Structure 1
């Protein structure tokens, strides 16, 4: 199980570095576990950033791998930062368990590509649009709980804009005909989309209603994220309604999703085209 608040990118980088150092040294999981007097699953969890980085364990592993002091000390020095909870920790009560992992990656991503088959993508929603959806999707929650969800989304959007991360969103014009929260809410949402499309780091593509099927037709919400750190592989998140959310960094799987999304974007109107009419 991953840390409750989800691992930070700093944590992921150090965990990946430990795996690479073990592999470089030719040390098996079993041998590394024996050095810790633990089960191989413990080493696997450390390398996958699924548990906190204990200084004693990390030092033992570095010694077992024969890592020279000049290379080991930066790893040890980074443990304090890697073990700090992410900024989203205080919002964890407003998050689904899988979101903690996703937001941990998103918070340092340099590029986020997103597709939604029926609604305005999350990172482009206005507070009013997001609040109206929360009332539908989480009817059993208190107004205060739903407000926290909307606040979390706003914080994610703010942090992405602040660090200049690129956002590329694709969605069908049907989203603009699906009335969420009433005419005023939809008018505000359309105004935000028009304004966002002019931002230097945002790309918005809307597939018109009369366009033929494309490679993303019928595909659940998909997010592709790239973190500017060589130790962190590109990640794909597929949100399948009523099923387990798929989060993967397996290169072949991510590549297949990227190819489908690339093809769909290539067939959609050019970014900067006027938004289709909405109801």
Structure 2
């Protein structure tokens, strides 16, 4: 079974390479399963990073695919690292299901783009803002809320440490929605003002009086630029009442990217300060 905390990028990459090697060799799932003495579903789980990478099984598959020793060596050498739990494993009990699926990509992504239709995007939230949301929107016990706050702080710290790019788009209504009271919102606004000055962060706020744009009415989304071509980019679509969809199909990912690009183009460009009253200036 897949570890509860989700596969790391290293695990995903090696799993994807095994699939590509099988397809290159023209070996079917059934034939690969016969080589392992297992069910085809076992091979599919291996290729989807849904189970650990057993060295014996991987070696058998590489031999069945007639992979040269030179090509097989780095794959076998990478198994130990791929099977290690991710840094987020200690917070697995506080994680949402979608985070368990994609946090490995997020934690090493070169670019994260995010849109929220009503609130400050998660990776820009202060602890007080996030805590107030958790108290209001969830029935989680205090221990789990604390774990969520610790996990978010660690995600933000790692994002900053590796200098990954974060591009956030959200409506000015988020700045007028009182989460946790005036003091919490003042601190949140100050953090956003500071974030807008950082080189690797882009903060765009759609004013209250701007017309509809391509992301209007779209639930929260996160577009993750995967660090390895073998696994491709992901879109995480959070639909209230319907759960979370993790989209990896290239055409669908491209569609969301185009819509997000168009919305960012329609919005005012990032500036040194957030709009004071949420209203736009200039031509639309």
Shorter-chain TM-score tier: over 0.9
Cα separation, partners in 2 of 1:95 and 1:278, compared to 1, 3 Å: farther
Cα shift at 1:2 = 3.1
Cα shift at 1:44 = 1.0
Aligned partner of 2:184 in structure 1 is 185
Give the secondary structure class of the aligned counterpart of 1:247: strand
Aligned partner of 2:50 in structure 1 is 50
Give the secondary structure class of the aligned counterpart of 2:5: coil
TM-score by length of 2: 0.95
Please give the alpha-carbon distance, in whole angstroms, between the structure 1 residues aligned to 2:195 and 2:233: 25
Give the secondary structure class of the aligned counterpart of 1:258: helix
Give the secondary structure class of the aligned counterpart of 1:239: strand
For the Cα contact (< 8 Å) 2:197–2:272, is it kept in 1? no
The one-character-per-residue Cα deviations of 1:246-265 (angstroms, maximum 9, x if unpaired) are 00110011011101100000
Aligned partner of 1:67 in structure 2 is 67
For the Cα contact (< 8 Å) 2:105–2:227, is it kept in 1? no
TM-score by length of 1: 0.97
Aligned partner of 1:120 in structure 2 is 120
Cα shift at 1:278 = 5.3
Please give the alpha-carbon distance, in whole angstroms, between the structure 2 residues aligned to 1:278 and 1:155: 32
Please give the alpha-carbon distance, in whole angstroms, between the structure 1 residues aligned to 2:143 and 2:16: 38
Aligned partner of 2:252 in structure 1 is 253
Please give the alpha-carbon distance, in whole angstroms, between the structure 2 residues aligned to 1:6 and 1:48: 11
Cα shift at 1:94 = 0.7
Cα shift at 1:134 = 0.8
Please give the alpha-carbon distance, in whole angstroms, between the structure 2 residues aligned to 1:50 and 1:244: 20
Aligned partner of 2:282 in structure 1 is none
For the Cα contact (< 8 Å) 2:109–2:224, is it kept in 1? yes
Give the secondary structure class of the aligned counterpart of 1:225: strand
For the Cα contact (< 8 Å) 1:203–1:271, is it kept in 2? yes
Please give the alpha-carbon distance, in whole angstroms, between the structure 2 residues aligned to 1:228 and 1:213: 33
The reply to whether residue 160 of structure 1 matches residue 145 of structure 2 is no
Please give the alpha-carbon distance, in whole angstroms, between the structure 1 residues aligned to 2:59 and 2:243: 36
Give the secondary structure class of the aligned counterpart of 1:75: helix
For the Cα contact (< 8 Å) 1:176–1:278, is it kept in 2? no
Aligned partner of 1:176 in structure 2 is 175
Aligned partner of 2:25 in structure 1 is 25
Q: 1:85-100 counterparts in 2 under 5 A?
A: 85-100=85-100
Give the secondary structure class of the aligned counterpart of 1:245: strand
Cα shift at 1:273 = 5.2
Give the secondary structure class of the aligned counterpart of 2:222: strand
Cα shift at 1:173 = 0.3
For the Cα contact (< 8 Å) 1:176–1:277, is it kept in 2? no
Number of corresponding residues: 278
For the Cα contact (< 8 Å) 1:116–1:171, is it kept in 2? yes
Superposed structure 1 runs of 4+ greater than 3 Å apart: none
For the Cα contact (< 8 Å) 1:235–1:248, is it kept in 2? yes
Aligned partner of 1:241 in structure 2 is 240
* RMSD of aligned alpha carbons: 1.2
**Structure 1 unaligned residues grouped into runs of 5+:** none
